[in-house]
């Protein structure tokens, strides 16, 4: 699977973030129309080189990205503005849609209706969380990330980040081998603990972003 195949078929990502000058131009015309330079100290908390949004308008100005997508079947392209809620959920949604000029072809209502904006937002949300999970594990585990995830876990607590990172890796490894089965129960058996204990581990790992959230319609565990 290619990296851009995270989107619902037949859509693919051509650009994950347009060039800065193009994004700025689009933002002035069809975006929030609030530039970073317009934000005040009431809007932004600054810590050295880093800045964090305080206000809703700061979230609009700082928490967005313009992307270009293409329908592989029809060749139709769209430029989408992704807005990230910035409330700790990493949730993304489509807040603007542009149909670029495409060799003089007419943009039709059918083309616009074929763009699954909700599914695209959900796909970007999943990728953002997945990237955060991978980064958190790498930062916490260091070289230990190369250990066999299917070995019984060492004794640990749900307040121990390294332990939760290992819980997340073990869950992913077991789910890959036993898709559709009760992975939580299998982890409990492997580690010699009660199923309720394994479920507590998984809940804590998800909350701390060492494991992906449960997909809609699936049972926890």
| 88-146 pLDDT tens trace | 668 899 999 999 998 888 999 999 999 999 999 999 999 999 999 999 999 999 999 99
Could you tell me which of 117, 6, 17 has the C-alpha nearest to residue 65?
A: 17
In a shared domain, residues 122 and 33:
yes
| Domain assignment of residue 215, yes or no | no
Regarding whether 151 and 103 lie in a shared domain, the answer is: no
Sheet of strand 92-98: strand arrangement? 11-16, 64-71, 77-84, 92-98
Distance CA 60, CA 95 (A): 10
Q: Is 11 in the same domain as 119?
A: yes
Domains contained in the chain, number? 2
**Is residue 24 scored above 90 in pLDDT?**
no
CB 110 within 8 A of CB 50: no
111 shares a domain with 163: no
Question: Quick one: pLDDT band at residue 221, thresholds 50, 70, 90?
Answer: low
Mean pLDDT of the chain: 89
Full domain range(s) for residue 111: 3-128
Backbone angles phi, psi at 132, to 5 degrees: -65, -40
Structure tokens at 172: 């992913």
Query: How far from each other are the two terminal CA atoms of the chain, in whole angstroms?
Result: 26
Q: Does the residue 33 lie in any domain?
A: yes
Based on the fold, state whether residues 186 and 124 are members of the same structural domain: no
> Residue 134: inside a domain, yes or no?
no
The reply to whether 60 falls in a domain is yes
């Amino acid at each position: 699977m290619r990296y851009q195949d995270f989107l619902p078929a037949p859509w693919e990502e051509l650009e994950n973030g347009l060039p800065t000058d193009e994004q700025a131009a689009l933002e002035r015309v069809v975006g929030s129309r609030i530039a970073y330079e317009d934000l005040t100290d009431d809007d932004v908390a600054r810590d050295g080189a880093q800045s964090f949004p305080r206000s809703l308008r700061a979230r609009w100005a700082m928490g967005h990205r313009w992307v270009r997508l293409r329908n592989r079947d029809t060749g139709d392209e769209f430029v989408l503005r992704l807005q990230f809620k910035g409330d700790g959920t990493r949730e993304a949604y489509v807040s603007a849609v542009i149909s670029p000029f495409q060799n003089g072809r007419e943009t039709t209502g059918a083309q616009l209706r074929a763009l699954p904006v909700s599914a695209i937002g959900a796909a970007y949300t999943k990728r953002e969380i997945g990237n955060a999970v991978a980064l958190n594990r790498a930062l916490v585990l260091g070289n230990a990330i190369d250990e066999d995830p299917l070995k019984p876990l060492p004794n640990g607590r749900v307040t121990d980040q390294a332990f939760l990172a290992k819980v997340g890796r073990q869950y992913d490894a077991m789910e890959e081998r036993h898709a559709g089965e009760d992975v939580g129960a299998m982890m409990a058996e492997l580690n010699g603990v009660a199923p309720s204990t394994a479920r507590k581990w998984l809940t804590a790992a998800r909350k701390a972003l060492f494991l992906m959230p449960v997909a809609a319609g699936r049972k926890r565990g």
